[in-house]
Chain A
Amino acid sequence: MAIVFPFSAIVGQDEMKLALLIAAVDPKVGGVLAFGDRGAGKSTAVRALAALLPKMKVVVGCRYNCDPEHPERFCEDCKEKQAAGKLKTVQAPVPVVDLPLGATEDRVVGALDLERALARGEKAFEPGLLARAHRGFLYIDEANLLEDHLVDLLLDVAASGENVVEREGLSVRHPARFVLVGTGNPEEGELRPQLLDRFGMSVEVKTPDDLPSRMEVVRRRDAFENDPAGFVASWTKEEAKLRKKITTARERLPEVTVSNAALERAATLCMTLGTDGLRGELTLMRAARALAAIEHAKTVTDDHLKRIAPSALRHRLRRNPLDDAGSTVRVDRAIAEVFG
């Protein structure tokens, strides 16, 4: 595994970093889409996230990363093991799985294990990327260039949280719950609306335009490239701090309360913006709760809602091409209207 640039060493890009942290604290928020300038560090941030995430408990030897604390969601193998009383658990890194653009369908959903078929003439299921990403993150770089047939597959699985494979007389279903993370450059093309909707939060990434941060970016990047290991070592402390923040926020999350007033605010905001369906409201609430947990707050305040609303809502607006204002501006306007 190549050494990756540390998350805490990324200069600026606060909106993107916060969105990723929120997704790490509460995966139910439903993924992050980062669209913006070339060379602004989108991919760097996502790859850095993998190194940052606290480890999780998994069943030893499980190919689907089954969670020992949720026996009701076990895969077939784990159920057998449990019945036999042979279930062992281990701490494992949270998977951040790359879905490369050239991937073929069989590797995404899983297929017959070629090696075993050839060598031993056995039929066995070889899990694909979706299985590997279960309980972790599935990352698509240049998400807007992903082939349509792969997008369709993802949409289906992301909606049901389960991957069903019917092939060569083999019938496998396994849990596949993952946080979808996508990055891209809007100039290369737009994202399909259905896929857009699957992302909980969408952030706009811009290259920093103030000189001091630009210099800091270049300086850190240069230092990293000259001595990756040394650079990472000098950031270990910061990384540990941030990791701890995620862990404590996860513990606090169930205790964060949402007042009726806050719920109403969220609903009014969504209505003002005319977002489709309930998904916007739900995501807004969840994200605000996670934000409150990160910041050690006991309840969700207007401030939390205000800060997270652009990320949670800007990609859910109905397009109004004659309104020249970008969606961020429209969300800001609505926030000003609702929160006064």
Chain B
Amino acid sequence: MNLALAWSDAATAAQLFAVDPVGTGVLLRSRAGPVRDRWLTMLRAALPPTDAHKHLPLHIAEGRLLGGLDLSATLITGRPVAERGLLAEADGGVLVLAMAERMPSSTTVHVTAAMDSHETLIERDGLSLRMPARFGVIALDEGLEDEFAPAALRDRLAFHLDLDRFAFRDTEEFDITASDIDTARARLPSIRATDEQIEAVCTAAAAMGIISLRAPLLAIRAARAAAALSGHSEIDKEDISLAARLVLAPRALYFPQPEQPDQSEPPPPEPPPPPEDNSNDNQDQEQQTPDFDKALEEVILAAAKAAIPDDVLASLRASSGRSRARSSGKAGELQKSNKRGRPTGTLRGELRAGAKLSVIETLRAAAPWQPLRRREAAASGRDSAQPEILIRKDDFRIARFKMRTETTTIFVVDASGSAALHRLAEAKGAVELLLADCYVRRDQVSMIAFRGEIAEILLPPTRSLTRAKRSLAGLPGGGGTPLAAGLDAAFALADSIRRKGQTPTVIMLTDGRANIARDGAPGRPKAEEDALASARQLRAANINAVLIDMSPRPGPQGEKIAKEMGARYLPLPYANATVLSQAVLASTQ
């Protein structure tokens, strides 16, 4: 699909969203820049000017997001006055999420709950309220490569647009007027999808490996909006194709091959990953149910396929969607660990040694009760010695700090050569043991493997055993030893973890026999030189590290690398998962 057409689709997505925004939205994957601004300008033009347009900053406090007691109004009027939160303020309009890729799950969960129920439920500060919150969401996702907005949010956003494909000169400003949108909004309720259309959309979604059932529902909504916008009285093929391009295509995990694929053609560099649960079922289903409207379904598939850039399509075919599938749910996890940036708030509590009183919050807590306390004090005859403000123990608000910084243990596993499978299996076992043990300590675990020419993050930092198991199923092994690449990847990850305010620990499993240089060229001397240089980065950054030499005959190479890394050197020939996890625990405490 050429860029001009793609841009026109992106503009249409803005209109479709404007027609039917409540509870869904647009994922705008793009750097900040003129292209994104142009798109946002078009959207603004499409939305009726009366609609609310609210921005949700990344680190919004929970109280501001949900609402709560309006203290000043409460004190003036002498009765509890609620203050609307941002979610309620966005009612009837649009909520723009800035930097959605970094949104903490504590914020995401409130936004998605409001999107689902169209209201916010407040149980705070002595208030119990429901407020309408019917809004659409624009999520600005500036994530690089594998950084994504939280999966729970993406799932609910109908349109996923990738604007980084466009240069500013590729884009033109379409003329969108709010009155068109108004007309379409009025027409929308009378437009229904037929059974055949629903069937075709479901079948096509299943054929593309889309598991969530929200996707076909959102596609149908989009098709209805498209029909309303173009003045049709019912949904036609054009509308469905448009919905397929905008809603289904970006979610596709794979495409059914038109012909029997030639398996031998690009030799797969590694054993294919275990197929997604659904892929076979769906294809079977498809064959079992030939009486569906094949034609329409084909139209949908063709439309979706046309909307995907060629290179992405090629990778989808090659990987059976692995690259996309793996990223799902990542952002949620990533954000979850990001505890430092988000205001952790205060908690009612006692002043004990070490606790820090939050004076402002304490005063806020005490303020509404002053008249009552004054009256009580007067009644008990202590009037004369009254202080200005009567503060009781119950008012104390303790600033919440994390008791202990989180530790993220990064396993860096040498997956090269013959011992690879053994090492990988034991490292995987150790990861799972640590996760099982460490719940209470709230530690996270991550895993990097290096082999061939590159290092790869197999498991991004996570606390979830479920995720670890899934990501670590079917690990590839064999090939050369790009030790430098492994150390570089470990350093990069450790550094990003540290910047989030957590403590990284690197556990390196290797025999230290590097034979691939940083640039991917084979050759021992250069490879070793590069590895030592990479190792020094870790030492310079003072990152806690352990190098476990699991080769049958631990040699001097491993020890040398360990020294340059500033790591503890542990020769553990034939170590198993239990020994490993104990060694890790011993070295992180």
Contact = CB atoms under 8 A, between A and B. Distances in A.
Nearest to B473: A324
A121 B333 contact: no
Contacts of A39: 155, 212-214
Given A218-B198, A321-B435, A105 B281 contact: no
A211 B65 contact: no
A128 B126 CA distance: 9
Interface in A292-340: 319, 321-322, 324
A244 interface: no
A90 interface: no
Interface string B337-350: 00000000001100
Nearest to A117: B372
A188 B464 contact: yes
Nearest to A214: B202
A145 B109 contact: yes
Contact of A168 (B78, B392, B436): B392
Nearest to A141: B113
B105 A145 contact: yes
Nearest to A142: B109
Interface residues of B, number: 78
Interface in A65-117: 98-108, 111-115, 117
B465 interface: yes
Contact of A106 (B125, B151, B206, B465): B125
B201 A218 contact: yes
Interface string A190-221: 10110000000000000111111011011101
B465 A104 contact: no
B217 A210 contact: no
Interface in A133-151: 141-142, 145, 149
A171 interface: no
Interface in B59-97: 62, 65-66, 69, 74, 78-80
Contacts of A186: 464, 466-467
A118 B195 contact: no
Nearest to B120: A100
A108 B123 contact: yes
A100 B123 contact: yes
Contacts of A207: 211-213
B29 interface: no
Interface in B171-222: 189, 192-193, 195, 198-199, 201-203, 206, 211-214, 216-217, 220
A167 interface: yes
B201 A102 contact: no
Contact of A103 (B80, B123, B211): B123
Contacts of A103: 123-124
A40 B214 CA distance: 9
A188 B105 contact: yes
B211 A187 contact: no
A126 interface: yes
Contacts of B126: 106-107, 111-114, 126
Given A38-B212, A100-B123, A321-B429, A210 B285 contact: yes
B168 interface: no
B371 interface: yes
Contact of A219 (B110, B195, B469): B195
A145 B111 CA distance: 14
Given A100-B121, A101-B109, A321-B432, A187 B439 contact: no
A102 B124 contact: yes
Q: Is the interface of B mostly helix, strand, loop or mixed?
A: helix
A8 to B, nearest CB: 18
Contact of A187 (B69, B151, B217, B289): B151
B371 A118 contact: yes
B575 to A, nearest CB: 14
Given A100-B113, A210-B285, A215 B199 contact: yes
B466 A187 contact: yes
Contact of B439 (A104, A126, A193, A219): A193
Contacts of A50: none
B296 to A, nearest CB: 13
A2 B106 contact: no
A97 to B, nearest CB: 9
B375 A121 contact: yes
B196 to A, nearest CB: 11
B122 interface: yes
Contacts of A226: 189, 192
B394 interface: yes
A233 interface: no
A38 B105 CA distance: 14
A210 B288 CA distance: 11
A115 B347 contact: no
B552 to A, nearest CB: 23
Interface string B100-129: 000001100110010011110111111110
A333 to B, nearest CB: 18
B429 A217 contact: no
Contacts of A43: 116
Contacts of A117: 368-369, 371-372
A60 to B, nearest CB: 21
Given A115-B79, A118-B78, A190-B463, 16 more contacts: A2-B118, A37-B212, A107-B126, A114-B126, A115-B80, A118-B74, A122-B372, A129-B123, A149-B347, A168-B394, A186-B467, A188-B464, A207-B211, A211-B202, A215-B199, A221-B213
Nearest 10 CB-CB pairings of A with B: A321-B432, A107-B123, A103-B123, A211-B285, A187-B329, A114-B126, A186-B466, A39-B214, A215-B202, A321-B436
Interface of B: 62, 65-66, 69, 74, 78-80, 105-106, 109-110, 113, 116-119, 121-128, 151-152, 155, 189, 192-193, 195, 198-199, 201-203, 206, 211-214, 216-217, 220, 277-278, 281-282, 285-286, 289, 329, 332-333, 336, 347-348, 368-369, 371-372, 375, 392, 394, 429, 432-433, 435-436, 439, 463-467, 469, 577
16 contacts: A2-B117, A2-B119, A98-B121, A102-B62, A102-B122, A104-B125, A108-B123, A114-B74, A114-B126, A187-B332, A188-B332, A208-B213, A209-B278, A211-B206, A211-B286, A321-B436
